[in-house]
Amino acid sequence: DRAEAWTAVEDYLTVTLVGEDQAQVSARESADREGLPAIEVSAPQGKLLMLLAKLTGARKVLEIGTLGGYSTIWLARGVSDGGEVVSCEYEPHHAEVARRNLEAAGVADKVSIRVGAALETLPSLAAGNDGPFDLVFIDADKENNRNYVEWALRLTRPGSLIVVDNVVRSGQVLAEGGDGSTVDRDIRGTRDALALLGSDERLDATAIQTVGGKGWDGFALALVK
Ligand code: SAM
């Protein structure tokens, strides 16, 4: 069936192009053993994050949603020398698993995980002058996606890139209640974020749909003008 074909092609592309290394495979496996949900980015998307970090010459990357650190490893490998990734994670156990995975991947010295609700961490990053970030990857609780884009705008500079994950969700992004309202809080958050990406004068955005082992989804990219 189609889902099997998507997965087979993704596996083929991963083997042919992506070059996921043992530390990355182990990061996924250890997250699984530790009971974390398998909701990390796919290997090709992780590689894309690394390439985007390289393309933008990113020295400072902000990630919202660490999980077991799989995407964090890709981002850390994409930052230029002396660069760093700040990654926000709510669950202490996720952060602990991620720290071990980052250590094993040899990138722990480039990453700082901030444990807590991102909406509390982000103001402290702004107050502490931690920005501006060159690349922001938003991949946490989707109901706050619009808030995260607003914080990303405060924490970036013209030329920065903002990436928002899971903006399609098997087409649920269009799901509406009988009165035209969006039923699901996560979908509402994502639609509000997309509306902001599309309407804010400071942003130039697009979104790409994807298929693969994780089904049908997509991500948005926005350049800060
Ligand atoms: N970026 C990761 C990757 O691709 O490997 C996947 C992140 S996962 C989709 C979302 C993560 O966001 C989870 O680990 C979850 O605990 C975390 N999260 C949920 N709510 C959060 C919040 N309010 N602040 C920070 N992190 C949160």
- pLDDT tens digits, 23-55: 999 999 999 999 999 999 999 999 999 999 999
* Ligand 1 center–CA 72 separation, angstroms: 11
- Helix H or strand E segment including 147: helix 145-154
- Helix H or strand E segment including 32: helix 22-33
Nearest CA owner, ligand 1 atom 3 = 40
Ligand 1 pocket, residue 76 CB under 6 Å:
no
* Residue that the structure tokens 């009165």 belong to: 179
Once rounded to an integer, what is the mean pLDDT over residues 111-122? Answer: 98
Give the model's pLDDT for residue 139: 98
Backbone angles phi, psi at 5, to 5 degrees: -65, -40
- For residue 142, what are the CA distances in angstroms to 96, 156, 167? 22, 20, 9
What is the spatial distance between Cα 154 and Cα 62, in angstroms, rounded to a whole number? Answer: 12
What is the spatial distance between Cα 74 and Cα 47, in angstroms, rounded to a whole number? Answer: 6
Give the model's pLDDT for residue 96: 98
What is the spatial distance between Cα 153 and Cα 35, in angstroms, rounded to a whole number? Answer: 34
Instruction: Give the predicted TM-score (pTM) of the model.
Output: 0.97
Give the model's pLDDT for residue 1: 87
Domain of 86: which CATH number?
Answer: 3.40.50.150
Backbone angles phi, psi at 135, to 5 degrees: -145, 135
Give the model's pLDDT for residue 149: 98
Ligand 1 pocket, residue 38 CB under 6 Å:
no
Rg (CA), the chain: 17
Give the model's pLDDT for residue 75: 98
What is the spatial distance between Cα 114 and Cα 125, in angstroms, rounded to a whole number? Answer: 10
Number of domains in the chain: 1
Cβ contacts of residue 223 below 8 Å, gap of 6+?
159, 160, 161, 203, 204, 205
What is the spatial distance between Cα 207 and Cα 205, in angstroms, rounded to a whole number? Answer: 7
What is the spatial distance between Cα 80 and Cα 90, in angstroms, rounded to a whole number? Answer: 27
ipTM of the prediction greater than 0.95, yes or no = yes
Ligand 1 pocket, residue 117 CB under 6 Å:
yes
Q: What is the pLDDT of residues 152-189, one digit of tens each?
A: 999 999 999 999 999 999 999 998 777 777 778 999 99
Structural domain harbouring 115: 2-224
In percent, how much of the chain has pLDDT > 90? Answer: 93
- Of the pLDDT bands very low, low, confident and very high (cuts 50, 70, 90), residue 129 is confident
Q: Which of 91-100, 142-151, 166-175 has the lowest mean pLDDT?
A: 166-175
Q: Which residue from 32, 66, 70 has its CB within 8 A of the most atoms of ligand 1, so it is best to mutate?
A: 66
* Residue that the structure tokens 């760093």 belong to: 84
